[in-house]
Chain A
Amino acid sequence: MPDPLNTRLKHLIVTTLKLEDVTPAELADDEPLIGSGLNLDSIDALELVVTLEKEFGIKIGSSEESRQALASIAHLAEFIRARADPARLPA
């Protein structure tokens, strides 16, 4: 059964970045987000980080932390779980 947080993140990525040629279901958990795979750039990362901070009430402190968190959807989920109030995570 898919991880609900991973599923939620895939949906947020597609909608926030207005990706037209990919659906949430097509994104793999280990899909690289920056540099290869989805190949997001720093402006994409900015938009995504703002959305994630609002959605989960977390704070990403530096561009290096942002880059590490966005390494893949699985990395991102792990990062959010370690920092977010569990009540804000999808059940």
Chain B
Amino acid sequence: MPLASAVRLEATGCVTPLGNAPSTHAALLRNEVALRPAPVLGADGGEPVPMALVAGRSFDETAPPNWLPPLQSLQAELAGEGWGTARRPVFVTSSNFGVGSLYAYRRHGDAAHLAYGTPSTCVDWLAGQLGWGANVTTLSHACVSAHLGLLLATRVLQAGFADRALVFSFDFISPFVAGGFHALKILNSGFPSPYAERASGSIGLGDGAAYAVLSVDRGDFVLEAQSLYNEMHHFTSNRADGAGFAACLAPLSAAARGRRLWLKGHGTGTLEAGRLESTALCTAFPDTPLVGWKGSLGHTLGSCGLVELALACEAMRQGRAPGTVGGASPSFQANVALDPLSLEQTDGVVCASNAFGGAHAAFLLAHA
């Protein structure tokens, strides 16, 4: 997909198991790990696997969903009103929406869960709860969902169809979602160690939600370039030669020429994808430090691109980026940074996410 041209970020924010963006950024700088072992199927038990929940939320589904309060807190941070009206569209992205509710209905037979179980019913309900109008677009493309929302919002703004656009993303884990990753054996009893060269890989799963307000000309940060690429290779795996990762990064590499960058990778903790991703990033951006934060926060799935965008903005405001929390030596690549980075000598970051189906996404973020 061709690069989109620049658009500003007027505001960003997120909620993670470590709090809002400033709290999460500070905790990551202290190398805090939010993941804790918990039974993969919640009240139904199962193997303890690393998971991280937003404070006060239970893992098992409730009706209405117990993830509404953190989303309401996030919404309260948003400046201005009128989201979802003609000139202020909302792009809601998630990989799961309320899919866990379908599993809850199957287990318990409570029809109240059905109101949240599909993307459309879930977002309709959420829009009502958060006071949005009808101009709400729902998008889902696995773990690059948030990037897709950013790109479409950018295009709407550049076409002159909106004054500002809200990209809003959320994924709250549930027994259904955790059970799926556990069946694939990529969620297991091990804790994630992104980009570490070791015998067995593992991801963790985490709650995450975030927003970004995009505008053509307002804001301290700018999305200089965005790239999406889909290998169309397989349901779960990538091409073994890493060509899909490289194809996504190539246009960003050109756009970033002359900049002094740092890299925020996807880095879930799986071995094959971690090796391919870090190799592609370090080939496209040699001698550039690479960090990933899912070793603490877990994989926040479709929302990860937006959660990590908010954290990258916070890092650039503070001048320090958290290192690869949970990482270990040896890493797949020498430029994987385990310790926090000073950003004084940098002027931009490339943030990348990757998804099932060989979907790859990345953007170049800089100070405006």
Residues of A in contact with B, size category: 10 to 19
Contact A46 B237 (CB under 8 A): no
Given A63-B270, A64-B271: A42 and B236 interface contact (C-beta under 8 Å):
yes
> What number of residue pairs across chains A and B have CB atoms under 8 A from each other?
42
Residue from B185, B237, B270, B271 within 8 A of A60 (CB atoms)? B185
- List B contacts of A46 (CB < 8 A): 183-185
Contact B185 A63 (CB under 8 A): yes
Hey, what's the 0/1 contact readout for B268-280 against A, CB within 8 Å counting as 1? 0011000000000
B24 within 8 A of A: no
Contact A42 B234 (CB under 8 A): yes
Hey, what's the 0/1 contact readout for A30-68 against B, CB within 8 Å counting as 1? 000000000001110010011000000000111111100
- List B contacts of A41 (CB < 8 A): 234-237
- List B contacts of A62 (CB < 8 A): 185-186, 188, 190, 200-202
The CA of A64 and the CA of B200, in the complex, are separated in Å by: 6
Contact A65 B200 (CB under 8 A): yes
Contact A42 B189 (CB under 8 A): no
**Contact surface of A with B, Cβ cutoff 8 Å:** 41-43, 46, 49-50, 60-66
Interchain residue pairs with CB less than 8 A apart (30): A41-B234, A41-B235, A41-B236, A41-B237, A42-B234, A42-B235, A42-B236, A43-B235, A43-B236, A46-B185, A49-B183, A49-B185, A50-B183, A60-B185, A61-B185, A62-B185, A62-B186, A62-B188, A62-B201, A63-B184, A63-B185, A63-B186, A63-B200, A63-B270, A64-B199, A64-B200, A64-B201, A64-B271, A65-B185, A66-B185
Having A41-B236, A64-B199, one finds 4 other A-B pairs with CB under 8 Å, namely A42-B234, A43-B236, A49-B183, A61-B188
